[in-house]
Structure formats: C-alpha cells, structure tokens
Amino acid sequence: MKIYPAIDIRGGNAVRLAQGDYQRETIYSLNPVDVARKFKTAGATCLHVVDLDGALEGELINKDIIKKIVDATGLYVEAGGGVRSLQRIEQYLSAGVSRVILGSAAVENFSLVVDAVKFFGGKVAVGVDALDGKVAVHGWKEVTDKDGIDFCKKLHEVGVHTVIYTDISRDGMLGGTNLAVYEELTKIKGMRIIASGGITHIEEIKKLAAMNVRGVVLGKALYDGVLNLEQTIKECQDVS
C-alpha cells in the first residue's frame, strides 16, 4: 500500500477543491514546493501532483513548479493535468516526473492511450474521475455517459497497468470513500488501482489494502489535520 500525499496546484498555490468545484477552492500554501518538502520530512516516498490550471486549459501551465518539486525532494512523483499529447508526456518525464497521468484526453482520444502505453509503458497511468459512476472530464466540469468501471476494463485491455480512480462526490468532503466501487475495480486482474476521494480514516486505508488496492491519494484529510501523514505511513505502508 503506497501513500500518495496530494498537491493540487492552481495559480501557483497548493489548493484543495470541494468535489472538484473550482469555485470552492481553499488555498493551503502559497508555496507547493514547501508542502512537498514537509511531506517528505513526514516520511512520504511518493507524491500525487495535479496541475489544476492545466486540467482546465489543456496546457502544462504549472510544469515548472512540478519540476521544482521533483528537484527539491527527489521523490517518486506522479503528475497530471493538461496532458493531451505524447509530446506533453515527454515534457513531464523530462522534468523528472516518474509517472504521467492521462485524464480527459484518455476519454476523448482513446488512441492516445494506446500510443502512450506503446511508447512509455508503465510510466503512464490514467486518472478516471467518476460522478455517480459516470466518467467526468475537463476538470470534472463535464460528465459523460461512460461507465467508470467499464472504462477501466477497457483501459486494462489496451495495457494500462495503473488507474487512479476518484469518486468526485466524495472528494474534498472528509466523508469517507466509496469502498464498494474499489471492491469492483480490484476484480480487474492485473490492474493496479489507486484510490482517491474522501479517504479520511486509517481503518478505511486498511480496508482498501485488504481489497488489494495498491495505493491511496490523501488530500484534504492531511491538510486539515484529520490524518497525520507520519502515523498513516507507519500504520499502512506495509499493510496488504
């Protein structure tokens, strides 16, 4: 079980959104690099970083900040937001990012997923964001008619090894995560599932680990002090 502290960047700041709503933003730090350093000091070995401006605009707007995070910490960083082409995957990898997350582009341009897996293999993951079971795109502003679990199965068929699955309705609400959906997702043999959205308690993380979920993304629970990162890592890192 890997613990991925989340750093969402918007306007150069480390922020959190409630249920993906850009109008419900809380700024936690004016310096995302400092946040990353603090996570490392607490024992983090990996980070989940999202360029929220990029997710909305379709460009790599905060790539320089993400590079600074990589350079300052030396941690395994998975990053996404605005990745719409193979060239942008290369740009992130050149910046030192260990794994690049495809989001909306994976939904709207499936051939990009096929090509990305062909050229970059395990250095590419797909972030599947779902509201009421349906995949959402463009910074969660548009909900499609695609079923989230079925889409994950399709990703697995073309060789995607890792999916970060977010239940938008739970994200940033500190109300607990959707355990049932992860129980279904872990039935897809050979796919690594990383859970994201609303994870609030250590016991939840242990339940996810028992289902063979391979990682969890922790955001608001860390920023609001509901979960202590150092304690969470000690109790959950080796649980399976």
In the block, residue with structure tokens 């740009």:
91
* Residue 67: partners with Cβ closer than 8 Å, 6 or more residues away: 95, 96
Candidates 3.30.1300.10, 3.20.20.70, 3.40.710.10, 1.10.8.80; CATH matching 2-236: 3.20.20.70
Question: Which one-letter DSSP state was computed for residue 150?
Answer: H
* pLDDT of amino acid 12: 96
Phi-psi region of 225 (alpha: psi -120 to 50; beta: other; left: phi over 0): left
Question: Can you give the C-alpha Rg of the chain in angstroms?
Answer: 16
* pLDDT of amino acid 173: 54
* pLDDT of amino acid 16: 87
Gap between the Cα atoms of 187 and 201, Å rounded = 23
What are the domain boundaries of the chain?
2-236
* Residues noted as catalytic: 8, 129
* pLDDT of amino acid 174: 58
* Residue 216: partners with Cβ closer than 8 Å, 6 or more residues away: 1, 2, 3, 4, 194, 195, 196, 199, 205, 208, 236
Are the C-beta atoms of 221 and 199 separated by less than 8 Å?
yes
In the chain (240 residues long), the average pLDDT of successive 10-residue segments reads 96 87 89 98 97 88 97 98 95 97 94 98 96 83 91 98 88 71 95 94 95 95 95 82
* pLDDT of amino acid 170: 61
Give the distance, in angstroms, between the CA of residue 29 and the centroid of all CA atoms in the same chain: 19
